[in-house]
Amino acid sequence: MELKNKTVLVTGSTDGVGRVIAERLGSAGAHVLVHGRDEGRGEDVVAAIEAKGGKAEFLAADLASLAEVRRLAEAVRARTGRLDILINNAGVGTGGESARRQVSADGYELRFAVNYLAGFLLTSELLPLLKASAPARIVNVASAGQQAIDFDDVMLTRGYSGVRAYCQSKLAQILFTLDLAERLKGTGVTVNALHPASYMDTTMVRQAGVTPWSSVETGADAILNLAASPALEGRSGFYFDGQRESRADAQAYDEKARRRLRDLSLELTGQSSTTSREQHS
């Protein structure tokens, strides 16, 4: 994909791999919508992009609140008449061994809410804009750390651990990716997910008490491959490990599990199945 004059939204782009992606997209001529919670850090990224001749704007939102996710989508629609690429990158890590169960503003388990549900809602809200801009791409930044969703206890009220919560939320992203790809056939909008790199040198990894293995540049290469590589044109519904096509946990390929997650997600975000059908038709 030629990036010049394309509009791209990168969630979680004020730090780590998200910032690297935003700056590279800006350098390639894209109009970058930078997202984060901290306005100061956001404006720093915008300034860095503009200093190299790029175009960028900062949009603040806390993805732990579904109301703020909706406001973010509204802000995107207010600022641009097109959206060529959506990169759902924002997330909460495992929190390390001492991680305690936390809830979002809406009362949902925090990692499920931020890592998965926010991206589900944001994508749903922006689908009309993406479809109007087709060919367009959605990239969901997931992880090789995956755990099957326990539909009897999705919010992990029993036997909680930060690692379990993180892995479940990341697999939920992949189920969503494969489900959405089926529903977007023929629209010109593709959606793929990936594990960018193992234990990148990010705040999230260091907070988990893990010594980084990979650079954020390696992860950014993999994400941008899905966002812009000509080789991915028209390809949808895949999971990548870095830049290599791979296989996710078996639950991702269970159609009943994907449908069950979709129905639950619509319920949790207050969307009707009718609205969903209209957005995906």
Phi first, then psi: what are they for 36, rounded to 5°?
-175, -175
Residue 47 lies in a domain: yes
pLDDT at 98: 64
pLDDT average, residue stretch 8-33: 97
| CB neighbour class for 144 (10 Å; exposed up to 12, middle 13-18, buried from 19) | middle
pLDDT at 82: 97
Q: How confident is the model at residue 187 (pLDDT cuts 50, 70, 90)?
A: very high
Strands (E), 115-203: 136-141, 189-195
Q: How confident is the model at residue 55 (pLDDT cuts 50, 70, 90)?
A: very high
Residue 74 lies in a domain: yes
**Residue range(s) defining the domain that contains residue 267:** 7-280
Residue 224 lies in a domain: yes
Burial 20-33 (b: 16+ CB within 10 A, else e): bbbbbbbebebbbb
Sign of the Cα pseudo-torsion (74, 80, 85, 89, in order): negative
Residues marked as catalytic = 166
Q: Give 246-278 pLDDT, tens digit per residue.
A: 999 999 999 999 999 999 999 999 996 655 555
pLDDT at 200: 55
**Ranges 34-48, 77-91, 261-275: which has the least confidence:** 261-275
Cα distance between the two ends of the chain: 24
pLDDT average, residue stretch 152-159: 96
Q: Provide the pairing of β-strand 244-246 with 239-241.
A: antiparallel
What three-state secondary structure class fits 76?
helix
Q: How confident is the model at residue 217 (pLDDT cuts 50, 70, 90)?
A: confident
pLDDT at 25: 98
Q: Give 60-76 pLDDT, tens digit per residue.
A: 999 999 999 999 999 99
| Count of domains for the chain | 1
Residue 233 lies in a domain: yes
**How high is the mean pLDDT of the chain?**
92
Residue 2 lies in a domain: no
CATH number at residue 117: 3.40.50.720
Q: What is the pTM of this model?
A: 0.93
Q: CA geometry: angle at 169 spanning 208 and 142, to 5°?
A: 80
Say how many residues make up the chain.
281
pLDDT at 94: 86
Residue 215 lies in a domain: yes
Is the pLDDT confidence value at 193 over 80? yes
Residue 111 lies in a domain: yes
The two three-digit tokens of residue 255, written as one number: 């159609």
Run of H or E including 22: helix 16-27
pLDDT at 1: 74
Residue 1 lies in a domain: no
Q: How confident is the model at residue 167 (pLDDT cuts 50, 70, 90)?
A: very high
pLDDT at 99: 81
> Is residue 59 a contact partner of residue 74, using CB atoms and an 8 Å limit?
no
Q: How confident is the model at residue 162 (pLDDT cuts 50, 70, 90)?
A: very high
Q: Provide the pairing of β-strand 244-246 with 31-36.
A: unpaired
**Ranges 93-97, 109-113, 199-203: which has the least confidence:** 199-203
